[in-house]
């Protein structure tokens, strides 16, 4: 029996940056790699450790309130920045949600004006406002080969994120506030890094994005296609969210 190839998901700060079901993204990445015949596993990368980061195919960085971000940003700068940059340079991919997305940028500034420096892996900056953006989100994504082209999820953030020239939006908001409630854009894509405000969790209802991250990480092994899976349950949940996003007919 040929030995199964290893596939590794690296979970940054699982104890502190993990809200609104973000854990579901880890399960989705591991299962979808397993269903393609890989020996798939997730490793936890909490504060103070970088063990195994060089072997990671897809990193996941979840969301967290200002308090949790204050507890992780120094470790990110001191310990994770260099191995993460190297891994991405070598073709690993990253999915970062909300608070994680913000700390991969240049900085996150709280509504009180406290600034947490980020690692600048993506060309974005975030400043919190007084009003939180909360609710369902539907995005028309601008990622090649992504089918369906819509992404659905849930947002809850005070941060307003603005993209620099080095990053492009993940897509256009159809429902919700997205990056900053003003430019109509959501998330960012820069090289192998995808940032977004979509919780939910995101990947169980958007399996096409999970496959995009897996496929892109595997392309360095010469693997460019993934065996199709029966995603009827996942896409039914996706379509349900799209329906929910339809403007309701005015009450008679
Ligand atoms: N604390 C950040 C904000 O409020 C991120 C919140 C989150 O990850 N949900 O914008």
How many angstroms separate the CA atoms of 185 and 179, rounded? Answer: 6
pLDDT per residue as tens digits for the range 124-180 = 999 999 999 999 999 999 999 999 999 999 999 999 999 999 999 999 999 999 999
188 included as an active-site residue: no
199 included as an active-site residue: yes
pLDDT per residue as tens digits for the range 17-34 = 999 889 999 999 999 999
pLDDT per residue as tens digits for the range 43-91 = 999 999 999 999 999 999 999 999 999 999 999 999 999 999 999 999 9
Q: In which band, very low, low, confident or very high, does the pLDDT at 3 lie, cut at 50, 70 and 90?
A: confident
Q: In which band, very low, low, confident or very high, does the pLDDT at 244 lie, cut at 50, 70 and 90?
A: confident
Cα→Cα distances 163→7, 82, 160, 182, 212, Å: 31, 22, 10, 12, 22
Q: Ligand 1 pocket, 158 CB below 6 A?
A: yes
Average pLDDT for residues 198-210, to the nearest whole number?
Answer: 97
Cβ pair 156, 199 in contact under 8 A: yes
Average pLDDT for residues 186-191, to the nearest whole number?
Answer: 98
Please tell me which residue in 106, 157, 199, 238 is annotated as part of the active site. Answer: 199
Provide DSSP, 156-176: EEEEEEEE-TT-B-SEEEEES
Task: Tell which one of 156, 181, 187 to mutate to probe ligand 1, the residue whose CB is within 8 A of the most ligand atoms.
Answer: 156
Q: Ligand 1 pocket, 98 CB below 6 A?
A: yes
Q: Is the pLDDT of residue 37 over 70?
A: yes
Q: Is the pLDDT of residue 208 over 70?
A: yes
How many angstroms separate the CA atoms of 200 and 182, rounded? Answer: 22
Q: Ligand 1 pocket, 64 CB below 6 A?
A: yes
Q: Is the pLDDT of residue 119 over 90?
A: yes
Q: What is the mean pLDDT of the chain?
A: 95
Residue having the nearest C-alpha atom to atom 5 of ligand 1 = 99
CA of 222 to the centre of ligand 1 (A): 37
* Residue 184, C-beta contacts closer than 8 angstroms, at least 6 positions apart: 172, 173, 178
CA of 145 to the centre of ligand 1 (A): 30
pLDDT at 21: 85
Q: Ligand 1 pocket, 109 CB below 6 A?
A: no
CA of 78 to the centre of ligand 1 (A): 22
* Residue 1, C-beta contacts closer than 8 angstroms, at least 6 positions apart: none
**The Cα angle at residue 169 between residues 12 and 135, in degrees rounded to 5:** 70
Q: In which band, very low, low, confident or very high, does the pLDDT at 215 lie, cut at 50, 70 and 90?
A: very high
Residue of 213, 212, 215, 206 whose CA lies nearest to 234: 206
Q: What are phi and psi of 240, to 5 degrees?
A: -60, -40
Cβ pair 50, 2 in contact under 8 A: no
The token pair at 106 is 């240049």
Q: Ligand 1 pocket, 62 CB below 6 A?
A: no
**CB atoms < 10 A from the CB of 83, how many?**
18
Cβ pair 104, 135 in contact under 8 A: no
Residue of 118, 91, 22, 21 whose CA lies nearest to 61: 22
């Amino acid at each position: 029996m040929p030995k199964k190839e290893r596939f590794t998901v690296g979970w940054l700060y699982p104890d502190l940056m993990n809200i609104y079901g973000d854990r579901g993204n880890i399960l989705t990445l591991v299962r979808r790699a397993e269903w393609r015949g890989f020996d798939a596993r997730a490793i936890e990368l909490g504060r103070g450790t970088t063990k195994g980061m060089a072997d990671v195919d897809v990193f996941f960085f979840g969301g967290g309130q200002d308090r949790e971000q204050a507890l992780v940003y120094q470790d990110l700068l001191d310990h994770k920045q260099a191995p993460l940059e190297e891994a991405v340079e070598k073709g690993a991919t990253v999915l970062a949600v909300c608070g994680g997305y913000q700390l991969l940028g240049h900085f996150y500034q709280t509504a009180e004006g406290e600034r947490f420096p980020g690692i600048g892996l993506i060309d974005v900056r975030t400043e919190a406002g007084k009003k939180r953006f909360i609710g369902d989100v539907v995005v028309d994504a601008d990622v090649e080969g992504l089918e369906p082209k819509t992404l659905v999820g849930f947002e809850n953030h005070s941060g307003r994120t603005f993209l620099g020239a080095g990053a492009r939006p993940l897509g256009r908001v159809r429902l919700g506030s997205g990056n900053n409630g003003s430019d109509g854009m959501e998330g960012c894509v820069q090289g192998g890094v995808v940032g977004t405000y979509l919780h939910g969790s995101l990947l169980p209802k958007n399996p096409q994005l999970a496959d995009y991250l897996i496929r892109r990480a595997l392309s360095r092994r010469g693997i460019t296609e993934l065996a199709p899976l029966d995603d009827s349950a996942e896409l039914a949940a996706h379509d349900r969210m799209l329906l929910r996003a339809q403007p309701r007919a005015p009450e008679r």
